[in-house]
Amino acid sequence: MKYGLLIRAGFWFNDKSLRDWPLLILSLLAFPLGAFAVEKLAFNNLITDGVATCLHIFLSTTEIIYPVLVILKCDSAVLSGFLLIFIACIVWLKLVSFAHTNHDIRQLTMGGKKVDNELSTDDVDNLQPPTLENLIYFMMAPTLCYQPSYPRTSCVRKGWLIRQIILYLIFTGLQGFIIEQYINPIVVNSQHPLKGGLLNAVETVLKLSVPNVYLWLCMFYAFFHLWLNILAEILRFGDREFYKDWWNAKTIDEPVHKWVVRHIYFPCMRNGISKEVAVLISFLVSAVLHEICVAVPCRILKFWAFLGIMLQIPLIVLTAYLKSKFRDTMVGNMIFWFFFCIYGQPMCLLLYYHDVMNRIEKAR
């Protein structure tokens, strides 16, 4: 440790962050309850499908705009703002799935029309209006796709659960240590990658690549492997496929991937949109959500996160071409590790840090 211990509490939390947290309760309670009320009215034929759709659009739009306004107004820590907008985006995804799936259920049970979502045989046998109990379970469950019932485990493994919680706390602290001890000193002493010299930018990115990879591994392990499994174990949630072998260029975020496929990609395909355009729309939605999660807490709009997601499309095309040319699956793995971990994330980190610092300097 070249500079000694550099842990600062201000990065994680400050006294002004308390003003953000009522948003958490509002996002988790008010908007899902509003969506539930809309579905009850629709299933009882008190409102039409068109009115129900409009109300769901209003609720989901308000749910994502309100936290943006609160975070921009409250001068809280960046991490606090990120956590709140991240939770708000999760709730938004769940609200969309809740509305979309229940719309399909109404079409099946009341109209007999063709639906957008593929429902399982078990669901077809039990297509009932949503209850408050299954709504609460869905909002707490580690999934973004609503369905009337989920596979459940027989019991909660208490010893295993305690071990996972301990590991989660350890790796959460380790993330803070890596950020404060290794990443922050490099970033603070760096220049803007688009304004400084090329060699300086390359050197800084390479310096950041090692701690950034360690940070990414800790974040992935803590959230996707530990936290989601902790929630699943407490709720006895049976589907534990939260990720695939992303280190081999497979899907990283399986819950979001399933949501995009179910609520964006397949509906586009069924409405006559070509596969290529459906993929583009899917990436566009994902890119917008990523940009919101980063731009709002940082209070800047530079589209670096947006571009980072959209640039995956040409990388996918390039990977497919190189795989077919060299007949080697290792090509995709190398491209992933270089562009995603070694180059992409450190570069985005530098860009956002210096843009935030420039904004703060101008505000003074």
3-class DSSP state of 191? coil
Three-state DSSP string of 172-185:
HHHHHHHHHHHHHH
Helix (H) or strand (E) holding 24: helix 22-43
Residue type, 246: W
Annotated catalytic residue within 100, 103, 263, 290: 290
Q: DSSP string spanning 235-289?
A: HTB--------GGGT--S-HHHHHHHIIIIIHHHHHTT--HHHHHHHHHHHHHHH
- Here the tokens at position 45 are 């034929």
3-class DSSP state of 237? strand
290 is catalytic: yes
The 8-class DSSP code of residue 107 comes to: I
The 8-class DSSP code of residue 228 comes to: H
Rounded Cα distance, 257 and 242, in Å = 10
Q: DSSP string spanning 132-161?
A: HHHHHHHHHSS-SS--S---B-SS--HHHH
The 8-class DSSP code of residue 299 comes to: T
Residue type, 143: T
Rounded Cα distance, 349 and 204, in Å = 11
**∠ CA(314), CA(317), CA(321), 5° rounding?**
140
Active site residues: 290
